[in-house]
Amino acid sequence: MSASRSSNGLWMGRRVFGSTLSAAMAGLSGASKGWAATAAFKATPVRCPALEHEIRHVAARIADQKLANLFSRCLPNTLETAVVQGELDGRPDTFVLTGDIPAMWLRDSACQLHPYVAFAKGDKGLTRLFHGLFNRYIRSIAIDPYANAFWRDPADTRRLDWAVHDETEMRPGVAERKWELDSLAFPIWIAHAYWRATGDGTPFDARWWEAMARIVAVFSEQRRLMGKGPYRFRRLSLQPSESQFGEGYGNPTRPVGLIHAGFRPSDDACQYPFNIPGNLFAAHALRLMAEMARALGGPTALVEDAERLAASVQRAAEDHGQIRDRDGAVFWAYEVDGYGNTLFMDDANLPSLLSLPWLGIRTARDPVYVQTRKRVWSDANPWFFTGRFGSGIGGPHEGARMIWPLSLITLAMTSRDDLEIASCLRELRDTDAGTGLLHESFDVDDPAKFTRPWFAWVNGMFGELILDLARHRPDLLRRPLPARYVGALSLSRP
């Protein structure tokens, strides 16, 4: 999510390598200062004694000292550096920086705080943190349910540097307005996780159910059964994936019951507007919404509408979102258009095809997922790369041969193979460029070339992976990591 600009004023994309960060920061000026503006935010460090004890306990049982140190720094990264707390309209407010960009992404913030859900019960600091998060989601969805990123101040009229000239309906409080289907699904996902972990239903009042009804309405609207709907987006850019096709509405589709998206979780434009992992996640989130509303006394009509829409979207995804190869094996497409055209690939950002079990959408043993997983972690996926320092998935956002650590974490999270998991851990350990933190992406042949020195999402998710291994595969952490990269490619190639 870094930006550069050519002399003719066209935005060239969002890549900044660690070695050029200081120069990029020095060059930013004006009302929107990119990373430099992050310094204006005074983080509100949140302490959790139970989490701190668990970090010490787990780190002491990791045989590889560098891996233990990486875990100890990464897991608390968001709580220590990226949370700004206060009050909004007399209620607790939690604003979560994505890292070195001074804005809050709905998706990123949910993933950043997810590792702490398990420690929230009985902890006053984390309880206030999550209450504030849900209040912030309510406010953000009310401002604009089509936006992906927001400023802390709901009245702020700035735009992110690269969004200054976007052709779309920008509103105060919105930093960027890319319609990404998962942006409305992730708040439901983490709210459900918090409620199930703590039994605390107090944040979910009438205002919350009103926000949920708005989500159902937008999901329904973007099925486009009765027209294109109100959202459109165009951006002047040298990078085609930064704008949208078809006068800003996206490429043509046949309305089949799937939900349209303008952009992928990576913030790149969809080639075909029906993003399949996004639709599967939306259907899953709608079921979680209905479960919460039924249990917590939410509107009966909301329960019925959410369940009905979830079933319809799920059915459409199964009817139109799968591919059958010449041997009869069935696997998920990444995007489709309803006319029979399909795109097979996977992107590191969540929801991805690889991440379906981790998000609770499918089990790791589901036959269609098994076939899909084999293909996304192989050269059948155009965004899968292998080089001197390992293998992994990237995406158009940072380009060829740039692996995102998120993909390695997701592979390990969804794996049942100790060798595969250990290979992921070794690759993650050896590609931090000596910073002690993970990054957005790194060059598969030279990890010293990386993007985003401070990307809090990946740090927290790595910590969550280690916690999960400590609970379910503790012996793996007690053993030395492989002396060389063994490569999951040979294990997973179709």
Beginning with the edge strand found earlier in the chain, give each strand of the sheet holding 446-451 in spatial order: 402-403, 441-443, 446-451
Residue type, 396: P
**Phi and psi, residue 454, nearest 5°:** -130, 95
Query: Residues near 152 by Cβ (< 8 Å), separated by ≥ 6?
Result: 41, 84, 95, 104
**Among all chains, which residue has been given the structure tokens 């206060």?**
86
C-alpha closest to that of 379 among 478, 262, 221, 494: 494
The pLDDT, as a whole number, for residue 482 is 85
d(CA 73, CA 80): 10
The pLDDT, as a whole number, for residue 352 is 98
DSSP secondary structure letters along 383-417: TEEEETTEEEE-BTTTBTTEE-HHHHHHHHHT---
Distance of CA 479 to the CA centre of its chain: 31
The pLDDT, as a whole number, for residue 42 is 80
The pLDDT, as a whole number, for residue 12 is 40
**Contact of 230 with 224, CB cutoff 8 Å:** no
The residues of the chain scoring below 70 in pLDDT are: 1-41, 484-494
d(CA 109, CA 426): 27
The pLDDT, as a whole number, for residue 43 is 86
**Among all chains, which residue has been given the structure tokens 């972690």?**
377
Alpha-carbon Rg of the chain, whole angstroms?
21
Whole-prediction pTM value? 0.92
Residue type, 204: F
Q: Is 87 helix (H, G, I), strand (E, B) or coil?
A: strand
Q: Is 153 helix (H, G, I), strand (E, B) or coil?
A: coil
d(CA 451, CA 435): 13
**Contact of 72 with 59, CB cutoff 8 Å:** yes
H or E segment and range at residue 59: helix 49-59
Structure tokens at 152: 């802390």
The pLDDT, as a whole number, for residue 13 is 43
Q: To 10 degrees, the CA torsion angle through 160, 105, 220, 295?
A: -150
